[in-house]
Structure 1
C-alpha cells in the first residue's frame, strides 16, 4: 500500500487537477440540468463527467507507469499509461454518443428552457474553471519541453511544442480545450434559444459538443496506439546524435534509436572510436557518454555499443540522412 501511495505522488498533476475540477463542475452542472431541463446543460454535464473520469484514470495510469521493473516485467511499466489512455477514451466516446443523441432528440422536439440566468451563471463559471485548467496544462507542456514562457507566449509556445508534452498532459490539454470551447458554444446556444424562437439551437450545440468530444477520442486513440507499439522520438535522436558527435573521442555515430515508453525514453547508441584505444580508455568514453545522455530529459535507459572506426562517415546534421 505504501508503494502505491509513493507511485501516486508521481502521477501527472495536470490530470489530477483537471479530474477534481471537472468533478466539481459536473456536480454543479448536473444539479442545474435537473432544475432547468436545459439540453445544452445536459451536454456539458456529460462532457464534464466524461472528462473527470477520463482524467482520473489518466492520473492513475501515469502514476503506475513509474513503477520500477520487476523480474516478470523487466522492461518496466512505461507503456502502461498508453494502455490506460486507450481504455479511458472509451468513457469519453460513450459520453459523446449520449450527448449527440440527447441533442438530436431536442432538435426533433425543441422546448424553451427555464432558469436562463442560473444556466448562464453556471456555464460561465465552469468555462472560467476549464480555462484555468487549460492554462495549467499549457504550462505543463512547456515544463515537459523545458521551455520558459510568460504572458500570452504561454499559449503560442505550448501550441508550438504540443507534441513534446507527456501523453497524459496532451490529453488534459485537448479535453479542456474542447471543454472551454464547448462552454462558450453552450452559452451562445442558450442565449439564442432564449431570445429568439430558434429553440433548436440548444440541441445543435449539444450535437456539436458531442462531435468535438469524438474528435478528442480519435486523436487520443491514435496517439496512444503509437505509444503502445513503441514510437521513436526523431527530435531526441537528432539531439543525442549531435551531442555524442561533439565528443572529441567519438569518430562517428552509426545509429541512434530513441523509443518512447510512456514518459520514459530508452536510448540505443552505436558509436565508433579509435581502434588503437585500450579497453580501459574505451570504457571511460562509454561511461562518459552514457552519463551525458542520461542527463537528457526523460531518458531512463541507455545502451551503448562500441565499434572501431571504419573511416566511413555516416552521421551528419540531417535527420533524414542520419536515419539512412
Structure 2
C-alpha cells in the first residue's frame, strides 16, 4: 500500500487538478440541467463528466507507469500510461455519442428551455474554471519541455510545443481546450435561443461539442496507439546523435533508436571508433557516452554497441536528411 501512495505522489498533477475541477463542474452543470432541461447544458454536463473520469484514469495511469522494473517486466511500466489513455478515450467517445444524439433530437424537435439566468451563470463559471485548468496545463507543457514563458506568451508557446509534451499532459490540454471552447459555444447558443426563436441552436451547439470531443478521441487514440506499439522519438534521436558525434573519439554512428514508452525513453546506439583503440579505452568511451545520454530528460536506459571504423560515413542528422 505504501508503494501505491508513493507512486500516486508522482502522478500527473495537471490531470489530478483537472479531474477534481471537472467533477465539481459536472455536478453543477448536472443540477442546472435537471432544473432547466437545456440540451446545451446536457451536452456540457456529459462533456465535463467524461473529462473528469478520463483525467482521473490518466492520473492513475501516469502514476502506475512510474513503477520500477521487475524481474517479470524488466522494461518497466512506461507504456501503461498509453494503455490507460486508450481505455480512457472510450469514455469520452461514449459521452460524445450521447451528446451528438441528444443534440440531433433537439434540432429535429426543438423546445424552449427555461432557467436562462441559471444556464448562463453556470456555464460562465464553468468556462472560467475550465480556462484556469487549461492555463495550468499550458504551463505544465512548457515546464516539461523546459521552455520559459509568462503572460500571454504561455498561450503561443504551449500550442507550438504541444507535440513534445507528455501524453497525460497533452490529453489534459486538449480536453480542456475543447471544454473551454464548448462552454463559450454553449453560452452563445443559450443567449441566442433565449432572445430569438432559433431554439435549434442549442441542439446544434450540442452536436458541435460532441464532434469536438470525437476529435480529441481520435487524436489521443492515434498518439497512444503508437506509444503502445513502441514509437520512435525522431527528435530525441537527432539530439542524442548530435551529442554522440560531438565526442572526439566517435567516428560514426551506424544506428540509433530511441523508443518512447509512455514518458520513458529507451536508447539503443551503435557507434564506430578507431580500431587501434584498446578495449579499456573503448570501454571508457562507452561509459562516458552512457553518462551523457542518461543525463537527458526522460532517458531510463542506454544500450551501446561498439564497432571498428569502416571508413564510410553513415550518420546523418534528421535536418541533413530533410535537405537532400
Task: Report the TM-score, using the length of structure 2 for normalisation.
Answer: 0.97
State the Cα deviation string for residues 100-134 of structure 1 (Å, max 9, x = none).
Answer: 11111212221212111111111011101111111
C-alpha change, 1:243 and 1:18, in structure 2 (3 Å) is same
Match of 1:305, SS state, is strand
Q: Which residue of 2 aligns with 1:147?
A: 147
| 1:286-316 Cα distance to aligned partner (Å, 9 max, x none) | 1111010011111011000111111211123
Match of 1:99 in 2: 99
Structure 1 position 317, deviation (Å): 3.6
Which residue in the other structure is 2:74 paired with?
74
- Tell me, what secondary structure is at the counterpart of 1:304? strand
- What SS does the aligned partner of 1:218 have? helix
SS of 1:260's partner is: strand
2:171 pairs with 1:176: no
Q: CA deviation at 1:254?
A: 1.3
What 5-or-longer segments of structure 2 have no aligned partner?
Answer: none
1:12 aligns with 2:12: yes
Count of matched residue pairs: 323
CA contact (8 A) 1:234 1:319 kept: no
Q: How big is each residue's C-alpha offset from its partner over 1:39-71, in whole Å with a ceiling of 9 and x where there is no partner?
A: 111100000000000000000001111111111
- Is the CA contact 1:57–1:84 (under 8 Å) kept in the aligned structure 2? yes
- Which TM-score applies when normalising by structure 1? 0.97
Shift of the 318–264 alpha-carbon distance from structure 1 to 2, 3 Å rule, reads closer
> d(CA) in 2 for partners of 1:144 and 1:90?
27
Secondary structure class of the residue paired with 1:154: helix
Unaligned runs of 5+ in 1: none
Q: What is the SS of the residue equivalent to 1:271?
A: strand
Q: CA RMSD in A?
A: 1.3
Runs of 4+ aligned residues of structure 1 deviating over 3 Å after TM superposition are 316-322
- Give 3-state SS (helix, strand or coil) of 2:304's partner: strand
Residue of structure 2 in register with 1:134 after alignment:
134
Work out the CA distance in 2 between the residues paired with 1:320 and 1:78.
31
DSSP-derived class of the 1:254 partner: strand
Query: Which residues in structure 2 correspond to 1:215-230 (within 5 Å)?
Result: 215-230=215-230
